């Protein structure tokens, strides 16, 4: 898909992609969203339909059997899936997060094997950076990888790993030179079936309940040295470069959640009557809707501008990626909260989807770097 698009208007190709994904999501993913949330189960229906339509990892280049979609196309796919089910949108989002280190820094052999497997739907990818004592201070991780002949032996634990236990492949950051702090961290591809890999119980979360979040344990996991991503000591740099690109996918998820909430609230206030007329006719309601739409569109423009920079790998990507993630997630939290308010008591019940959207929106302000960390990143990278 072309990466060229007008600043103020999407290309016809991008518009067609949005229409196709929206139709598919409404028909095949939305009907399961409430059940997925209520039961806290993985959205297998979404995975099946996304993989059947090559929408589960559209970022993978054609060279490796992928769609070769540009960064904006990836944003649109995630946005439209999140509009109906935030948990399901983490399938394409985390597949990009987990596999992008291989795409950015991996050997050709790693790219052929793992990007190809991902593109063909042979297994999902997850990203293992955070640890119990290394959250925002990711360079303080303790997981070790010790060289032993032609292999590395991994020991440690990773926490808050999205889709853990479901994904087949894991990009794992581990310390190979303890004296070098961030420059002593390397990246590896670990397979779920490698001996010594295990998973903790799913976390009991406020939202995105259909996407399992678990600890991942590495107990003397022996992997071939050729599964290192890039050179020794470059793992942390690769991890940070990855986040520069993938924070935009979290912005996309936030956009989708907010759009779904706004769409539902608009329909409700046009039908709901009080004092003899639709409540949409009251100025107080109109002002709320106007503010919601304004914030959403501002977030969308910033996110799409960041996606363009991601595609070109511009020098100011780090600022724009952080800004898009921060602004869009803050806007999503405000918009979903207001949407619940517009439904009154009904908004507070699980008979309507808005309380789920509000709960789902919260995590976008937290993962892939809290919004407080995003503001630090922005301040350090002012354009």
Distance of alpha carbon 260 from the chain centroid = 17
The answer to whether 368 is a known catalytic residue is yes
Instruction: HSE, CB side, 13 Å, CA atoms: give it for residue 8.
Output: 0
The backbone torsions φ and ψ at residue 193, rounded to the nearest 5 degrees and listed phi first, read: -85, 0
CA gap 213, 216 in Å, rounded: 10
Neighbours of 108 (CB within 10 A): 9
In the three-class reduction of DSSP (H, G, I as helix; E, B as strand; rest coil), residue 315 is classed as coil
Dihedral of CA atoms 124, 129, 131, 134 in degrees, nearest 10, equals -160
| Segment holding 22, helix H or strand E | helix 12-24
CA distances from 121 to 59, 95, 114, 193, 248 (A): 13, 11, 11, 17, 23
User: Read out DSSP for 187-236?
Assistant: EEEEETTSTTEEE-PPP--SS-TTS-EEEEEEEEEEEEGGGEESSTT-HH
* Residue among 131, 215, 355, 368 flagged as catalytic: 368
Report which of 264, 280, 162, 252 is spatially closest to residue 213, judged by C-alpha positions: 162
User: Which residues are known catalytic residues?
Assistant: 368
């Amino acid at each position: 898909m072309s990466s060229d698009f007008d600043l103020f208007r999407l290309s016809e190709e991008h518009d067609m992609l949005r229409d196709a994904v929206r139709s598919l999501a409404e028909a095949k993913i939305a009907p399961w969203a409430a059940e997925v949330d209520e039961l806290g189960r993985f959205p297998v229906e979404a995975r099946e339909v996304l993989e059947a339509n090559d929408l589960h990892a559209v970022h993978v280049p054609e060279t490796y059997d992928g769609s070769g979609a540009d960064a904006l196309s990836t944003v649109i796919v995630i946005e439209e899936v999140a509009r109906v089910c935030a948990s399901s949108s983490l399938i394409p989002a985390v597949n990009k997060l987990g596999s992008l280190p291989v795409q950015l820094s991996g050997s050709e052999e790693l790219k052929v094997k793992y990007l190809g497997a991902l593109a063909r739907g042979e297994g999902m990818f997850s990203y293992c950076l955070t640890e119990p004592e290394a959250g925002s201070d990711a360079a303080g991780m303790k997981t070790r990888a010790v060289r032993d002949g032609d292999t590395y032996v991994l020991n440690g634990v990773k926490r808050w790993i999205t889709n853990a236990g479901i994904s087949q492949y894991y990009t794992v950051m581990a310390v190979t030179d303890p004296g070098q702090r961030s420059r002593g961290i390397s990246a590896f591809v670990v397979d779920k079936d490698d001996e010594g890999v295990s998973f903790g119980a799913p976390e009991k979360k406020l939202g995105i309940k259909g996407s399992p979040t678990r600890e991942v344990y590495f107990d003397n996991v022996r992997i071939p040295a050729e599964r290192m991503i890039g050179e020794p000591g470059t793992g942390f740099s690769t991890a940070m470069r990855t986040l520069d690109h993938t924070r935009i996918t979290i912005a996309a998820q936030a956009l989708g959640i907010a759009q779904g909430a706004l769409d539902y609230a608009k329909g409700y206030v046009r039908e709901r009557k009080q004092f003899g007329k639709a409540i949409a006719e009251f100025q107080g309601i109109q002002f709320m809707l106007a503010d919601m739409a304004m914030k959403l569109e501002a977030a969308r423009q910033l996110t799409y501008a960041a996606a363009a920079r991601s595609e070109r790998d511009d020098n100011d990507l780090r600022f724009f990626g952080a800004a898009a993630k921060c602004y869009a997630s803050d806007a999503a939290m405000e918009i979903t909260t207001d949407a619940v308010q517009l439904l009154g008591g009904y908004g507070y019940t699980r008979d309507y989807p808005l309380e789920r959207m509000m709960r789902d929106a919260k995590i976008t302000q937290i993962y892939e770097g809290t919004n407080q960390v995003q503001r630090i990143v922005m301040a350090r990278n002012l354009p």
